[in-house]
Structure 1
Amino acid sequence: MTWVRKSKTKPNGKKPPAEEKKQYLEAEFTKVRVVDFDLKELVILPREIDLNEWLASNTTTFFNLINLQYSTISEFCTGDTCQAMTACNTIYYWYDERGKKTKCTAPQYVDFVMSLVQKLVTDDDIFPTKYGKEFPNAFESLVKKICRYLFHVLAHLFWAHFKETVALDLQGHLNTLYAHFIVFIREFNLVDPKETSPAR
């Protein structure tokens, strides 16, 4: 009955290449953290703080941290190595102000994200810094948009550049940042859970 079993040898007589191990799934790398702390405690809204103030403060911090984390591997993320903005089986497209869908390289996408977020978080009409100045009505939807884009960057870092992150011995920082960010966006329902599925 050997003719019923599928052969592991290709028709040309060669064995298929062994599937490369995914370091971001290996316990020795995923357990590494910078802090051993309950991250949920860091994201819970303090009683004395306004929700929008809390969202603004955390969103700005995550923007800076994700931008910094990306900068550590940016020399490896090029138009040649990352011809599309991907994470697992997902390709992320950029949508311009008019809603036009554009496929771009990962470094272009990250540049679009970081430029947009920088513009938003430094706009005092959107992220007010003066006491008593009101947040805009659409503030929460803007925070959701920012967090969604920042998640795309984190997902790409894990999926496409975890090997480089490990080589730089920065996986603890990436793991901690990722876990902290996920706990934050889940606490305040900022990103649709379906959106975060590529990095599960």
Structure 2
Amino acid sequence: MNLCLGQVFSKDKTFRPRKRFEPGTQRFELYKKAQASLKSGLDLRKVVQLPEGENINDWIAVHVVDFFNRINLIYGTVSEFCSERTCPIMSGGPRYEYRWQDGDHYKRPTKLPALMYMNLLMDWIETLINNEDIFPTRIGVPFPKNFQQVCKKILSRLFRVFVHVYIHHFDVICSMGAEAHINTCYKHYFFFISEFSLIEHSELEPLVSQGHWDENKGGLTVAW
């Protein structure tokens, strides 16, 4: 799917520099294994399952970074259509609004334009995945006890990017003929977070409630 995404979306419009795994590391080998499975045509529900003998935190770390890269690529392509004029609020339709709070510059939930929210979100995630105390890369260095909690928060925030793109910019995606690719990316993400219970079901409500996702059928079911 990386190949398909790279062909359809503009790599020069990636929202952030891609985070890469160092060759020769366990994380790099896991990433290659995950990509090989993804390109093999296997059921995505099986692709996300933890390979036998592998550490679950390594598996989660690989996928968090990979989803960060892919979602950057998707949003980077539509970001020129996501301005303060077109998207003055970070939202997912009229019923859902996301406000930014980081405990530093924004101590209270603050209403922001979508593009500004995205910039802050990607900066925040990038800082976390580059932090060796949270995402260790050296052999023998353990993951922190709160590692999965941190990943849950990252993944729940990345879901908001899907929500905004699907509800406010899917016409752009369709004009590129790229809807099948973003749908596959979202399905992969959905099956992964479901496999390891990494997001609260209530977080999915903005897409489920509007009829865009049917868990029983395992896919996106209506035109956007």
Specify the TM-score bucket, using the shorter chain as the normaliser.
Answer: 0.7 to 0.9
Higher strand share: 1
- Larger helix proportion of the pair: 2
Distance in 2 (alpha carbons) for counterparts of 1:81 and 1:139: 36
Choose 1 or 2 for highest CA Rg. Answer: 1
Q: Note the alpha carbon deviations across 1:47-83, whole angstroms, 9 max, x for none.
A: 2111110110000000000011101111001111011
Give unmatched runs, 5+ long, in structure 1.
1-33
Q: Is the 8 A contact 1:128 1:135 kept in 2?
A: yes
Determine whether 1:67 maps to 2:67.
no
| Residue correspondence of structure 1 range 120-131 to structure 2 within 5 A | 120-131=128-139
Give the corresponding residue for 2:141. Answer: 133
SS of residue in 2 equivalent to 1:91: coil
Q: Residue 206 of structure 2 corresponds to which residue in structure 1? A: 198
Do the aligned partners of 1:35 and 1:176 also contact (CA within 8 Å) in 2?
Answer: no
Match of residue 122, structure 2, among 114, 133, 138:
114
1:8-157 to 2 correspondences below 5 Å: 37-88=42-93, 89-98=95-104, 99-157=107-165
- The aligned amino acid for 1:129 is T
**Amino acid corresponding to residue 185 of structure 1 in structure 2:** I
- Asked if structure 2 preserves the Cα contact closer than 8 Å seen for 1:78 and 1:107, the reply is yes
CA distance in 2 between counterparts of 1:165 and 1:149 reads 21
1:167 alignment partner in structure 2: 175
4+ residue runs of structure 1 moved beyond 6 angstroms?
A: none
Q: Are 1:44 and 1:187, in contact at CA under 8 Å, matched by a contact in 2?
A: yes
TM-score of the superposed pair, with normalisation by structure 1:
0.80
RCO greater where, 1 or 2, for CA within 8 Å and sep 6 or more? 1
2: CA distance between counterparts of 1:49 and 1:109?
35
Tell me, in whole angstroms, the C-alpha distance in 2 between the residues paired with 1:114 and 1:108. 10
Tell me which amino acid in the other structure corresponds to 1:48. Answer: G
The percent of aligned pairs where both chains have the same amino acid is 37
Q: How many Å separate the matches in 2 of 1:169 and 1:72?
A: 13
Q: SS where residue 91 of structure 2 aligns?
A: strand
SS of corresponding position for 1:83: coil
The C-alpha deviation readout for 1:171-196, integer Å capped at 9, x for no partner, is: 11210111111111111111111110
